[in-house]
Amino acid sequence: MAGQILGDRYQVERELGKHAGRWTLLAHDLHAKERVVVKLLCSDEDLRSDDLKLFEREVETLKSLSHPCIPKYLGYFQHRLPGGRALALVQTYVAGRSLNDCLKRGRTFNEAEARQIAKSVLYILIYLQGRNPSIVHRDIKPSNILLGDRKVHLVDFGSVKTTLNRQDSTSAFTLVNTHDFTPPEQYSGRSVTASDLYSLGVTIMTSLTGISPSQLPRKGSRFDLEPIVDLSPAFVDWLLWMTETTLERRLQSAMMALQALDAGQVRNAIA
């Protein structure tokens, strides 16, 4: 699609990603003279209603958000394709490399760097959780965290949901793709603010070790980092608190998680 003009103003430079009828493209806005990201969703008879709901939810969510570390909504249009049509979402382009790209290149992060990444994402989550209703990202993982120029960005809001009650949200919603960074409760259709904390905690563990979550050693139901990485006891404890498999034992909000990280203290006991 390189060179093609979409919506009479967005000239495609290259494909950034493709998955199940969705394309993410880097394009040049011929009017504003700047790079943008265009997300295309093929809209044909094979399009699942769940896919359409998720796409429309992403559009509405980005419209409502205003944060320097979240892509900004720029526009929405329909585009004709040879086999039908596509829905297109336009958002600001964030220059930088994803955490996943860094890990693929063999880079791992030390404790100080990992702490800074964690704090940066927590500040974004505090903003999302402070919305009314609060917003759960539901897809925090290395590929959705971009390391830009002195800023950490959270991208891809295609899986978001809102919840009026931060402690529990078991009402019907579209089950999104699951992966190594997905919290246990999300597999059974439960998604709360603490779910994003689990995903962030596991993401930070991977950034420290370069090891995917499924390959990380465990001691019982908890991850066991001691044999593979040298960290302060307080940071290890914080990571374990973030990734408790039992939801009720986990840190419950981004603000609580940030306060616990800043306190730098080990819990009195881990049962």
9 and 34 housed in the same domain: yes
**Is residue 139 annotated as a catalytic residue, yes or no?**
yes
Q: What pLDDT is attached to residue 47?
A: 56
Backbone angles phi, psi at 219, to 5 degrees: -125, 100
270: in domain: no
- Main-chain phi, psi angles of 51, to 5 degrees: -60, -45
Q: What is the model's pLDDT at position 169?
A: 43
Residue 175 reports pLDDT greater than 50: no
Tell me, yes or no, whether 207 lies in a domain.
yes
Residue 46: inside a domain: yes
Q: How far apart are CA 92 and CA 220, in angstroms?
A: 43
Q: What is the pLDDT of residue 268?
A: 61
b/e map of 224-247 (b: 16 or more CB within 10 Å)?
A: ebeeebebeeebbbbbbbbbbeeb
pLDDT averaged over the chain? 88
Amino acid identity, position 260? A
Coil vs helix vs strand at 157: coil
Same domain, 167 and 252: yes
- Whether residues 163 and 104 share a domain: the answer is yes
What band does 26 get if pLDDT is binned at 50, 70 and 90? very high
In a domain, 148, yes or no: yes
Domain of residue 114: give its range.
97-263
Query: In terms of domains, do 154 and 113 share one?
Result: yes
Query: Are both 155 and 254 inside the same structural domain?
Result: yes
Q: How many domains does the chain contain in total?
A: 2
Catalytic residue among 29, 51, 139, 196: 139
**Per-residue pLDDT tens over the stretch 104-133:** 999 999 999 999 999 999 999 999 999 998
- Mean predicted confidence (pLDDT) in 45-63: 76
103 and 19 housed in the same domain: no
Helix, strand, coil share of the chain (percent; to 5): 35, 25, 40
Residues 64 and 14 in one domain: yes
Domain final position from 92, 124, 158: 92
Q: Do 136 and 245 belong together in one domain?
A: yes
Task: Give buried/exposed letters for 8-33 (b at 16+ CB in 10 A, else e).
Answer: ebbebbeeeeeeebbbbbbbbbeeee
